[in-house]
Amino acid sequence: MTYRKAFRQLIRKTHMEQLGFITKLLGIKDQNIKIDNLFDGGTHKEIMARLDYDAPPCPACKGQMTKYDFQKPSKIPYLETAGYKTLIRLKKRRFRCKNCGKMAVAKTSLVQKNHQIAAAVKQKIAQLLVEKQAMTDIAHRLSISTSTVIRKLKEFKFETNWQKLPEIMSWDEYSFKKGKMSFIAQDFNTNEVLTILNGRTQAVIRNHFLRYPRQVRRRVKVITMDMFSPYYQLGKQLFPHAQIVLDRFHMIQHLCRAMNRVRIQIMNQFDRKSQEYRALKRYWRLLQQDSRKLSHKRFYRPAFRAHLTNQEILHKLLSYSYQLRQHYELYQLLLFHFQEKQADHFFDLIEEVISDVHPIFQTVFRTFLKDRDKIINALELPYNAKLEATNNLIKVIKRNAFGFSNFDNFKKRILIALNIKKERTNLVLSQS
């Protein structure tokens, strides 16, 4: 009997040690929570636990309470463990006052009072929101409802400091819904989002920035923006000391599109089955590239049935049309002046050829001449719009979520992704 008793004690001790190890693995810091058993559900793990400690004083009459019984087990979704979803079935001790008969339930740091979601899971939600994951994916991953994720999202607060504006701002717009554009302003140096507005009309933008005192707005020295003309005058009205700097990317984009449209018009003059048509359609990117960056490697080209370099292919394309060659050489020369930041040569060339070029190029050139001062600022000042990268991030957020129906939720997701630094966030990593 002594041997059997010792053996059972050893087994019990080993079992308790294993349960204690599971407690440490889960990161449960509450010493009053004891794990009784572990159930393997195949697709998930269920942990049977109880919360028990000495009876506290009565919260009503301050009398002594006594242990009564245990509540029905609470179902508490928890973080993944070893790649499996985890559910804690926690039985909480109930206490009863000897004097007034009041009942009380044991409290724990694992989960808030009257809540069913573990505190660690809520912190994990915050982390995943920062990482730009879709709310439905977060809910599925953590075995919680989407409404729980939305409630956590709404806990994030972003207050606008109406007494501070950066010296250098970036303005841009992005698509919230199909056919609906929104406005975004960002600190050029820190990339912090200053505001996101539901609309890009002058009235919406003006009403927002007029909330800043005039002396604050006068501190703004530079505003970078794309070639959306309604912004120009509005920027000067709101920020009288600010210089307008156009985004160099958009200017190059205008030139590229003009070159491509000319190529298409020339290409459509040939028969669709001809080699000229097929070559101009297949190798159109060569006409867009900077000629100084073309590859000199030789590859077999099925369209020409020969091994050719990109330079040789380009020479063949330009031989199909004198007009194409003329506009390509002009396009490359403008690119050179622009990249070398030679504003005088850039505009002198435009003024010289504007009357002789294709109407598509004439339209672009007239736009450039109209915005000459802003383009010169873009070439001479060391600033360029950074919001294109921000717009790409916004597109990622929207694509991951399959779109947003609520603007405030979308706005908050953008602010979380851009204004909250990951390294400063209290992250709770998945325990896997």
SS (H, E, C) the chain: CHHHHHHHHHHHHHHHHHHHHHHHHHCCCCCCEEEEEEEECCCEEEEEEEECCCCCECCCCCCEEEEEEECCCEEEEEEEECCEEEEEEEEEEEEEECCCCCEEECCCCCECCCCCCEHHHHHHHHHHHHCCCCHHHHHHHHCCCHHHHHHHHHCCCCCCCCCCCCCEEEEEEEEEECCEEEEEEEECCCCCEEEEECCCCHHHHHHHHCCCCHHHHCCCCEEEECCCCHHHHHHHHHCCCCEEEECHHHHHHHHHHHHHHHHHHHHCCCCCCCHHHHHHHHCHHHHHCCHHHCCCCCEEECCCCEEECHHHHHHHHHHCCHHHHHHHHHHHHHHHHHHCCCHHHHHHHHHHHCCCCCHHHHHHHHHHHHCHHHHHHHHHCCCCCCHHHHHHHHHHHHHHCCCCCCHHHHHHHHHHHHHCCHHHCCCCCCEC
Q: Between 3.10.150.10, 3.30.420.10, 1.10.3720.10, 3.20.20.70, what CATH number should domain 168-247+384-424 receive?
A: 3.30.420.10
Residue 268: the pLDDT is 93
The whole-number pLDDT of residue 260 equals 93
Residues of the chain with pLDDT under 50: 7, 15, 422-432
Q: What is the pLDDT of residue 431?
A: 42
Q: What is the rounded distance in angstroms from the CA atom of residue 190 to the CA atom of residue 167?
A: 11
Give me the pLDDT at residue 423, please.
39
Domain boundaries, the chain: 15-116, 123-155, 168-247+384-424, 249-380
Query: In this predicted structure, what is the pLDDT of residue 141?
Result: 81
CA separation for the pair 49, 19 (Å, rounded): 10
Which amino acid type is present at position 223? I
* Predicted pLDDT of residue 332: 92
* Of residues 71, 70, 58, the one with CA closest to residue 98: 58
Q: Check residue 432 and give its pLDDT.
A: 36
